Structure formats: C-alpha cells, structure tokens
Amino acid sequence: MSTLLNGKNGHTTHHRMEMFMNGPTAPRVDQSFAEDVFTFRVMQQRLPKDVYRALLRTVEHGDAMTPATADVIAAAMKEWAMEHGATHYTHWFQPLTGLTAEKHDAFLTPDPDGTAISEFSGSALVRGEPDASSFPSGGIRATFEARGYTAWDCTSPVFLNRNGGTVTLCIPTAFVSWTGEALDKKTPLLRSMQALSEQAIRILKVFGADTGVTAVTATLGCEQEYFLIDREYYFRREDLVTCDRTLFGAKPPKGQQMEDHYFGSIPSRVIAFMSEVERELTRLGVPVKTRHNEVAPCQFELAPLFETANIASDHQMLVMEAMKRVAPRHGLQCILHEKPFKGINGSGKHVNWSMSTNTGANLLDPRDETHTNMQFLTFLVAVIRAVDVHADILRASVASAANDHRLGANEAPPAIMSVFLGDMLTDIIEQLESGNPRKTLKGGKLDLGARTLPQIPRHSGDRNRTSPFAFTGNKFEFRAVGSSAAVAWPGTVLNTIVADSLDYVATLLERAVGGTTDTKKIEIAVRKVLQGIIKQHKRVLFDGDGYTAEWQATAKKRGLPNHRESVSALCTMTAKKNIAMFKKFKVLSKVELESREHIFIEKYIKQVLIEAETASSMARTQILPAALRHQTELAEVVAATEAAGLDADAARAHLEGHLGAVKALRGTLERLDAAVAKHPEEIHKHATQVRDEVRPAMAALRAAVDELETRLPRDLWPIPSYREMLLIR
C-alpha cells in the first residue's frame, strides 16, 4: 500500500500519464484493468505523438486545443468505441438535479444514397448543445433562451456505458448556459480546484520548499453507505418506489440493538451483488477497494481509493448508478436515501478530502520532513479557520430534505460544524497557541525537545465518529454529506472555503516574512501568524461526544451556528460574505450562487411535498381501508358475542380502542391534506410553511399509521413491515 501511495518525484512520462487517470498524486493504480475507459495509455497508443502531446498540454496546463487536434482525437475515440461495440455517443453531465444527464447520438448517420456513414467530429467531441430548458436553472435562463452548452472536460476520462445490451461512449462535460453561467455541478468544482491550487501554491512559496510545484489538487475519497432490500418488498411499498424511503413502519422487535450486523459476515446474495458492482466499476476505471456491512441491518458500504476531486466526483456518480443498476439482477433494490427506515441508522457519504502537489506530496500529511511540519501546521490551521469562518456555507452544502433526518436529529453527525483533531494534534495546537512548541511530551508519543518543530505521528489513535469534520491521519473526513448527494457541491464548497482561508493566511505570511529566506525568521513569523489564527478560531475545535446535549449548549455558548434543518441552512448560502467569497475566487457569480440557493430550496419543497402526497395516498387508499375492514370484523365480534348471550365488554373495549386509532388516522390525514393544500407564493415562505406545517403533519400521520400497524391483524396489513424488509439475507 505504502508504495502505491508514494508518488514522489521522478516519474517517467509513462507514470505521469497513468497518474493523470487518478490525478497527479492519487494512488498510482495500473489502469489497464479499466477496459471501458479511453485511458491515457490507450490514447498514447492510438494517437499520433504530436496530437497526444497537445492533449497532455491541454490536460496539464489548460492550453487551448485546436480544432484539428480535436478532430484527430475524436476519430481515434470513435474507432476505439466502435471496436468495443459502441453505437452511440453522449455528452455526460451533472445538471443541478443532482443526477447525471445524457442524450445519445448515433455514430452512424444515414446518407441520402441509402448507405450510412459513421461520424464523430472534433466539434461534436468538444461541444454539445442539449436542449437545456427542462433542467433547473434557478432563474438564470428563461425558457425562451433555453440554449445550454456542454463542453468536454478532458481531465476526466471518457468511458463506455454498458446498459440494456447497448454500449454508449460517454464524454464527461461541463454544462453552461449560452451566457456562460454554470448550470451544473462540475463547472464550479473545476473552478474551485483552480482557486485552491493558486492559493496553496502561495503558501508553499512562503516556505520556499517544493519549488517544483506547479499545481495543487484537491483529492476526494468517498465512502458510500447504502441499504439493500428484497425487490419484492420494494415494489409493494409506494413510499419506497416514489420516495426511496419508508414513510410508515412500526418499530421491529429486532433493529440494530444487537450490534451484530456491523462488519458481520456478508450474506451471499449481497456479496454476489457487491462483486458484480465492483466488476462493472473496475471496468469503468473506478478504483473500488473496500466493502463491508454497516451498522444497521441491511446496510452496507463501498469505498474506492481517493482520486483527484473532479474525477472522484464523476466516479462517485458512476458508483451510485452502478449500484442501482446491478441490484435488481440479484432480486435486490439499492436504497441510497439518507434515512430509509425510522429507528435505525441512516446512510451518509464520508467525503475524505486533502490536497496534493503535482510532485506527489500530500499537504495534510504530518509526517514529512521536520521543516515541512510547520508547513503542515499552516495548512491545518488554514482548514480549521475555513470551517469556523464558513461553517454556514459548509453546513448548507450538505442540506437537503433527506439529510435533515440525520443531521440535527440525534444521529451522526450533528448539524454543528466542528473540527476533530485527535489528542496529538490538539496538544500541538495548544502548545503552538501558547508559545513555542518545544517542550517534550513524556510517554514517547512526541518529542518536541530535540527539534524546534514537532514530529507528529501519522495516526492519532482515536477516531471520533460523532464529529462532522475529523482529521483522520493525513486527510479530513467530512461526514455530514448525505448518502444520495452528489459530492461535487460539498467538494466545491470545501475547496473554496479553504482557498479563501489560504489566501488570508498567505497574505499575512507574505507580509510577515517579506523577502527573507532565513528559515529561522520564517519560522518565527509563521508561528506568530498561526498563533493569532488559533486564538481566534479554536472555538470550532471539539473532540468530545457530538451527540450530547452538553455539546449543543457548549457550541451555543461558543457562538457556533447550529442549523438543525435545511431551510435555515440553505438561506445562509447567499449571505454577503459567501457571495463575496465565491465571486473573489471566481467559483460562482452572485447570479450562479443565488440560482443554486433557489434550486436547492425548490428541491426541498418538492421532495417533502411528494412524500406528503404519497403518505396521504397510502393512508387513504391502503391503510384506512384495511383499518375499516378490521373495524367491521371487530364489530362483528361484538355482535356475535352479544348474540351468544355472552359478556361482550372486552370485545367492545377492543373495538372502541380501534375506533380511537382510526379517528386519529382520519384526523391526521385531514391535517396533512390541509397543510399540503397551502402554497405560499414566495419560495422561502413556502419552504418555511412546508417545514413548519407539512413535516409535523406527516409525523403525526405516521404516528397514527404506526399505531394501527401494531393493532391490525398481519393478514390485513397492506404493506410489508419493517420486520419483513429488514430481515433479508
């Protein structure tokens, strides 16, 4: 493993190419396994030397590509794709729906003379023009100017999508409006990576080290949690089919209290599913690595090796799609919702994040040479500051109706954005704050005496699972991201807030250090700057149990924001400071940011209303009729008992209890329908009304339905129960 991860200098050209598949410094995996990817290796084999070099210049330095070069690449791509059975090609992009989009065109075009010619030009590769009118734009575009363009992102590899017996060449693209505004998730991610790179290089310059660094890349490794349930049950539940989660369901006698599922042996049907997913993903170049059972029954996890943020983000979309696609072949349904079942753990996506130089150094790896440790601490402190200053936008980046069931709902992790460092780093930060970290910490953990700067162990022993943002060895792990989320947006926000913080730190350092190359002077200047920042932002550091009420109170005292639900979180997106930041680093204009806030709030409303209407429909057409049937049965019992001249008191009491439950069902159903019927015009008002009226009404209806589930005979209960669904093997 260590040799795989070690990407130090001295790459041959060949190695450099391989790494571009995964980003400059991500694990150097041999991409020859990626049969369905037009890898750099394949390109090198198939393209004329000069064309291949021109492509590398575009990928590495962003040089413009000439139409002639694009034509040659397109021709080679088409040839390769058709040899692999592809009949169509598509620009593949990530509109703001949170899904991916594709529109296929055939390679073969019929000729008037009755034959067909195969066509795929450089311009078709580089630019597409899908009808953009039906994608969310958040007001950027009126439908009459619906033009949108897709533009080839040549840093993310082209691949073949095999589905339904067909093969399609997929070209990762950015999606922008005709006026140039980003209509997708990829464009701002790429811009944020650029911003991060520029600011990180300024810091490196201060330290004078790594002078060969020309680029710093954000790296992402995303752990995907998911549920699998038997497909037969899935189809019998309108809520699962429509909303990807259960809206009703009484607590089963056995949930996760036995803690027997986590890392348990994987059921054979599930492992068959997992390995098929892995095979498909491997062909697509996704470096899948880890699989295991998760905490809740029927919950599992898949984790690939980390890659350059942009590629990891594309690959993450492929991971979700592959899981959804493969599960039915095993009679399973893959559920990516953040909280499919009440009462047991929900699913998240841990987004591991770091920064790497093009020379192969992980900037968050504490175990470098002594002189670079101060550099490490600078990056570390900059990230801490970023989370404190921009807790609002970071929280907003993971806000969704679905994620509300996790964050702030007494489940991992809380909605308060805090940073976990672990014992070692906390200690060093404390020492740094109060002066010169020189003293020797006994116990053999740290020796600060011999050197002016601390040597820090790579892995601090503990791993706090309750922290939303934890330092885990040589990267940060952002755990608040929802399982169904596209990681591009949280990734964009992370990159941008850290770029902003690095800019701040770099400015202070450049001023303090001046032109000096005297390491001693640099060190003293850096220490002073870091001390000031630590003093100001240490309130965001928290290593304790994030689930406790005390933390909520402490965080409040410290003045940390705590947006427990999405509407208030999303409304912070367009705060003045956020608009200014995204603008300054050219990640999003004011219009682009506002449009995103609009789209996310709109999505929140739609998602909750779809759930509300589904709940109402199920209650009215499935639950109530079943309850009424049972009511008749109970009434018949009373009548028959009386007719037999027996004491019917118990039977009558039973019936009355049931009538009470039915009445509660009717009442809560009416309340929900009334709440759904209101439509405040203004979008923020509507979202607030949905949050304050519709959601509580749904909860009340659910309580009534779940109560009935415990009362009705099993043969009358119209939908599969938790007990059934959560026991598949």
The residues of the shown chain that bind Mg ion, judged by CB under 5 A, are: 223, 350
* Touching ligand ADP, residues 644-683 (CB under 6 A): none
The stretch near ligand ADP (CB under 6 A) out of 173-181, 185-193, 320-328, 472-480 is 472-480
- Is 290 one of the binding residues for ligand ADP (CB under 6 A)? yes
Rule CB under 6 A: choose which of 7, 130, 136, 221 binds ligand ADP. Answer: 221
Q: Which two tokens stand for residue 691?
A: 């949050």
CA–CA separation, 697 and 691 (whole Å): 10
- Is 354 one of the binding residues for ligand ADP (CB under 6 A)? yes
CB-based contacts of 729: which residues, under 8 Å, 6+ apart?
267, 269
- Is 130 one of the binding residues for ligand ADP (CB under 6 A)? no
- Is 303 one of the binding residues for ligand ADP (CB under 6 A)? yes
Using the structure block, give the residue that is written with the tokens 């060949």. Answer: 14
CA–CA separation, 22 and 16 (whole Å): 10
* Residue with smaller CB distance to ligand ADP, 254 or 463: 463
* Residue with smaller CB distance to Mg ion, 353 or 582: 353
* Residue with smaller CB distance to ligand ADP, 452 or 466: 466
702 binds, among ligand ADP, Mg ion, none (CB under 5 to 8 A by kind): none
Give, in order, the Cα–Cα distances in Å from 259 to each of 223, 301, 336, 343: 21, 16, 21, 14
* Residue with smaller CB distance to Mg ion, 125 or 218: 218
CB of 339 to ligand ADP, least distance (A): 20
What number of residues does the chain have? 729
Q: Which two tokens stand for residue 515?
A: 């032109």
Radius of gyration of the chain (CA): 28
290 binds, among ligand ADP, Mg ion, none (CB under 5 to 8 A by kind): ligand ADP
Rule CB under 6 A: choose which of 87, 436, 474, 562 binds ligand ADP. Answer: 474
CB of 337 to ligand ADP, least distance (A): 20
* Residue with smaller CB distance to Mg ion, 122 or 468: 468
- Is 353 one of the binding residues for ligand ADP (CB under 6 A)? yes
516 with 207: CB under 8 angstroms? no
CA–CA separation, 704 and 623 (whole Å): 10
Pairing of strands 127-128, 476-478: unpaired
Q: Which amino acid is at 416?
A: I
- Is 481 one of the binding residues for ligand ADP (CB under 6 A)? no
- Is 7 one of the binding residues for ligand ADP (CB under 6 A)? no
CB of 466 to ligand ADP, least distance (A): 14
21 with 34: CB under 8 angstroms? yes
Rule CB under 6 A: choose which of 227, 306, 478, 542 binds ligand ADP. Answer: 306
Pairing of strands 349-357, 216-230: antiparallel
306 binds, among Mg ion, ligand ADP, none (CB under 5 to 8 A by kind): ligand ADP
Residue 576's nearest CA partner among 312, 393, 398 is: 393
CA–CA separation, 706 and 692 (whole Å): 22
Rule CB under 6 A: choose which of 31, 168, 199, 219 binds ligand ADP. Answer: 219
* Residue with smaller CB distance to ligand ADP, 158 or 286: 286
Size of the site for ligand ADP (CB under 6 A): 17
* Residue with smaller CB distance to ligand ADP, 316 or 501: 316
Pairing of strands 299-304, 288-293: antiparallel
Using the structure block, give the residue that is written with the tokens 């909750």. Answer: 608
CA–CA separation, 692 and 512 (whole Å): 51
* Residue with smaller CB distance to Mg ion, 145 or 462: 462
Q: Which two tokens stand for residue 308?
A: 């350059």
- Is 6 one of the binding residues for ligand ADP (CB under 6 A)? no
CA–CA separation, 444 and 218 (whole Å): 33
CB of 496 to Mg ion, least distance (A): 23
Give, in order, the Cα–Cα distances in Å from 90 to each of 440, 527, 720: 61, 52, 40
* Residue with smaller CB distance to Mg ion, 342 or 350: 350
Using the structure block, give the residue that is written with the tokens 């011999």. Answer: 450
In a 10 Å sphere around its CB, with 0-12 CB exposed, 13-18 middle and 19+ buried, how is residue 645 labelled? exposed
Q: Which amino acid is at 308?
A: T
* Residue with smaller CB distance to ligand ADP, 84 or 465: 465
Rule CB under 6 A: choose which of 305, 361, 386, 480 binds ligand ADP. Answer: 305
CA–CA separation, 458 and 443 (whole Å): 17
CB of 316 to ligand ADP, least distance (A): 10
Give the sign of the dihedral formed by CA 336, CA 337, CA 341, CA 344: positive
- Say how far residue 635 (Cα) sits from the centre of its chain: 53
Rule CB under 6 A: choose which of 220, 380, 453, 567 binds ligand ADP. Answer: 220
* Residue with smaller CB distance to ligand ADP, 173 or 224: 224
Structure letter (DSSP) for residue 327: G
The closest residue (CB) to ligand ADP is: 221
Three-state DSSP class for residue 129: coil
Rule CB under 6 A: choose which of 261, 315, 350, 596 binds ligand ADP. Answer: 350
* Residue with smaller CB distance to Mg ion, 77 or 312: 312
Binding mask 498-537 for ligand ADP (x = CB under 6 A): ----------------------------------------
Q: Which two tokens stand for residue 445?
A: 């953990």
354 binds, among ligand ADP, Mg ion, none (CB under 5 to 8 A by kind): ligand ADP
CB of 255 to ligand ADP, least distance (A): 22
- Is 352 one of the binding residues for ligand ADP (CB under 6 A)? yes
* Residue with smaller CB distance to ligand ADP, 353 or 471: 353
Which residues of this protein are in contact with ligand ADP, per CB under 6 A?
219-221, 223, 290, 303-306, 350, 352-354, 362, 474-475, 477
